[in-house]
Structure 1
């Protein structure tokens, strides 16, 4: 599909640039049109399969890529890995019709920052775009439970039992709420603290765990057993 590169005016530079990839033409064109009407968002390209998504991500370096997990040819999970390799700053949202455990965990491990079902509304997708662009991890309630169930069933720990001692109680609370899919603002309201304080807690969590993203921190917390189904709202 030919791609017309947008003219980058002062207005467009302030918008979040989005790449959308889905193998169902009607769905991707409809979502592209509606999502592009959201304030502060701009669809810079659409792709019909994983290989095209990787090529466009490499060429355009979008802020956010929205990918289907089940696409012909290069799978969505493999596409996530390639997109992150060619455009490391691109935050990835998986938008799928499926909430299978075999999709959720591999997607997050591959580098996705969010996993949403296609049943969510456009406004929720727009919120997720803004959230991952700000460095947050977003999991819908069903995806959160699938992820926890998969990790619990796999067993084992990737961190020593005493690793959690490096995190303060408040940091553990922030990490658990982040795993449940709450935004910085929602965490701040729930814990009655400032939003900037939440951001500081997340920076400290990443540093202490030796990871570079909230997604990695959440996955480590899940695998280490610090986060359970009981932590979900």
Structure 2
């Protein structure tokens, strides 16, 4: 990375954008390159500015954040999207994760938490605890979930299923390596193959898939 990460802010509340800009622009490795007040503007500015990360509100007039996230993540060279929401147990936030967002941030988060979350998403790491994802899945997925296992699980080797299960339970690559008596690089290789075979965007979506596919059960 030759310069700071480029970040686009999208929220219909100017005060929220101002607060996020102050936190992000205080860091030498991060820079806010633009602001949008709705999803339509976010899509246009993303095409023009090519940000690395979009901080996206979900509830906005006109084109909402869910629609904008789906369109952004479906495009070539898509930026990462971090949903900014009022409540962590929010159907819109979960919908945005399903649409391709890499996680979410609660609006009243402290500055240090915002920075940790932003950097984690930029690295491709999990930026929310497995307990939060588990609660989201329990609330929004399980009531309508199919009892038939997802056929895509058949694409995975036994070892890859083991790795995916441990990722979904919230273990880091280092912890998975210790549990399975593997090198950390080998775990990263397995995870890369899992994401490729299942056409998943990142670890967050691997966790969601593990629950939705029936690989692991809430409380299991």
| Aligned 1:130-209 pairs, distance under 5 A | 130-140=119-129, 143-149=132-138, 150-156=140-146, 157=148, 159-160=150-151, 163=153, 166-169=156-159, 171-179=160-168, 186-189=172-175, 191-192=177-178, 195-209=184-198
Corresponding position of 2:59: 70
Corresponding position of 1:83: 72
Distance change (3 Å), C-alpha of 1:81 and 1:165:
closer
Corresponding position of 2:201: 213
Unaligned ranges ≥5, structure 1: 1-11
TM-superposition CA deviations, 1:40-97 (whole Å, max 9, x none): 1111111122111111111111001010111111111011022224564300000100
Counterpart pick for 2:18 among 13, 24, 29: 29
Give the match's secondary structure for 2:219. helix
Number of matched residues? Answer: 214
Give the match's secondary structure for 1:74. coil
How far 1:218 moved relative to its partner?
A: 2.9
Question: In structure 2, how many angstroms separate the alpha carbons of the residues matched to 1:42 and 1:177?
Answer: 34
Q: Structure 2-normalised TM-score?
A: 0.82
Give the match's secondary structure for 2:109. coil
Query: How much is the aligned-residue C-alpha RMSD, in angstroms?
Result: 2.8
Contact 2:69 2:100 in 1 (8 A): yes
